[in-house]
Amino acid sequence: MDEKNKKPGNPWTKSLLIWVGILFALVLFVQMIDGGSRSATGQAIAYSEFVKQVDEGNVRTVTMATGSSGNATITGKLESGEEFRTTAPADANVSDRLIGKGVAVQVKAEEQSSIWLYMLYNSLPFLLILGISFFVMRQMQKNAGSGAMGFGKSRARMLTEKHGRVTFSDVAGIDEAREELQEIVEYLKDPGKFARLGGKIPKGALLVGPPGTGKTLLARAIAGEAGVPFFTISGSDFVEMFVGVGASRVRDMFDQAKKSAPCIVFIDEIDAVGRHRGAGLGNGNDEREQTLNQLLVEMDGFEANEGIIIIAATNRPDVLDPALLRPGRFDRQVVVPRPDIEGREQILGVHMKKVPLAPDVDPRVIARGTPGFSGADLANLVNEAALLAARRGKRLVAMQEFEDAKDKVLMGTERKSMVMTEDEKRMTAYHEAGHAVVALHEPASDPIHKATIIPRGRALGLVMRLPERDNYSYHRDKMYANLAVSMGGRVAEEIIFGYDKVSSGASSDISYATGLARDMVTRWGMSDELGPLQYAEQDEEVFLGYSVNRQKNMSNETAQAIDKEIRRIVEQGYDRAKHVLTEHANELETLAQALLEYETLSGDEIKTVLAGGSIDRGGVSGPSIPAAGSSIPKAKRPKAGIGGPASAGA
């Protein structure tokens, strides 16, 4: 390996020497062509002028050289020291005239050029053109993957990680997927262990999971553990605008892999080339389908590719062609899900190794407060906490930084620099208080994590709820509770400010409620009117950059019934929210005033406020908030930002 690592420098030296040789040959050629004109020095004068100068006695010395034609080339110096040159005809008696005038004459025979030198003069330009052409063609073949001559060459890169090597010890939270792939690595290291029992190594493994769950990280870990050549390529690297290029690249990739077998080929985002054939307008994309056909043949065709293991990753397994998923091509599908609480704790432990932690940091608490986070989300959380600690001038990352980073990831960055009026601030406070009060009185609702009227991200205020545990199913009572909570902000505005003063702050709430109700009716069969049937429309296809209309698989009457049911379910949530806020109007008022006072309240602080207790912030107790139903003084801090259309989160 050490000898191979020294070789990449040699091509640069070789190319440099070739270019220097070409430049030297060009300079030599120019000198040969121009040498004769530069060898004759002095000012050129006419022969008649030369004779006149001789007769007047102005010529001091002369050198004569007679050529094959009989003409004499004359060079010399005048009495003034000026050099000259001229040509005398063959029949001129120049030497006698010069001797008669007392001029020093030197006669030199002109050298005859050989036939070989003559041939070199005439053939050198052609030799230079042929040499340069040969050099350029050789370079284009050598760099075939990036040049025009290598249009059909594979763009797969061999991964040789010396620094930043990833192993299975760096992969946490997805133990089952890791074990499935670790078996492939063990087979590559000791094939006899499995062959003794008649077992064959899988030809392909498909990694399936949401974005950010660690599919590519698993592939890098395989490369770090296997100790065999590892080629990596993206699915989009195969497809070009010219038909046949992708198939050529697939063939070339497998040819490279055969030379390095046993080896692993990792294809990231394989759905870019492996989509279902025949889908879309015009019977699909010819280039993509030819590429897929070639990939299918190479993976399991008449010619066996022993020792080549294909590992692919995608988050869209539903769009892949069935022929690609059958045993013999991708023998196993490895699901890489979002981690549970145990997995999140392990992932946090891996990322926290690189961060200096304060004693109060508890990964278990952070994992419990981040349900639904993927591995990439958790890595981003740890990084944000480290950046916050550095910004605050701390040497250790404390639990407070992790909590603030979690709020930033979940709710967005605080926009304290934006100033809003007192009326806008009051409306935001009542809007968020409406969400919170409804959530507290809906038994199926998730607990409130935090409520704020400080703008975060694209929202002007937020009520963030987090589940107490990981949920793997979505129940009907929780759906109706979420619908009521989402309508709580809009209902609170109507109750407090009146029908005409309702703002656009519930736009995201209405969008969420409508989408949830539509899924309940069309996907999950939770409408008594329409029954347990699926009415969801098929996903749209994209052909040549244009979206093709979705297939309509229902009658107009059914579509009208679906719209009617969606409206009924959303209005039912609206009525539930209105009933709760009307019955507990005193809690709405109390919580809104507390938000105006403190701007941000945690779930426990909200319960304390509604019970009439005081809030302790950093060892200093704030003013006591009266219990629900008591009169509350007007807010004293007309700060906080608001900008754009109001968007309050449920």
The binding site for ATP comprises 209-216
CA–CA separation, 41 vs 73, rounded Å? 12
CA–CA separation, 372 vs 344, rounded Å? 9
Q: Check if 432 is active-site.
A: yes
- DSSP for 601-636 reads EEHHHHHHHHTT---EETTEE-PPPPPTTS--PPPS
Phi, psi of 262 (to 5 degrees): -75, 140
Question: Would you call the peptide bond into 645 cis, given omega within 30 degrees of 0 as the criterion?
Answer: no
Q: What is the DSSP letter of 244?
A: T
| C-alpha distances out from residue 585 to 388, 443, 451, 486, 629, Å | 39, 18, 18, 17, 8
76 - beta bridge partners? Answer: 62, 84
CA–CA separation, 351 vs 615, rounded Å? 34
CA dihedral of residues 276, 280, 286, 287 (deg, nearest 10): -70
| Residue among 537, 547, 552 nearest 280 (CA) | 547
CA–CA separation, 459 vs 640, rounded Å? 13
Long-range contacts of range 1-9, CB-CB < 8 Å, 24 or more positions apart?
none
Binding-site residue ranges = 209-216, 431, 435, 509
Element (H, E) at 263: strand 263-268
Length of the chain: 650
Q: Among the options 225, 432, 442, 565, which is catalytic?
A: 432
Q: What is the DSSP letter of 112?
A: P
Binding-site residue ranges for Zn(2+) = 431, 435, 509
CA–CA separation, 615 vs 592, rounded Å? 15
List residues with catalytic annotation. Answer: 432
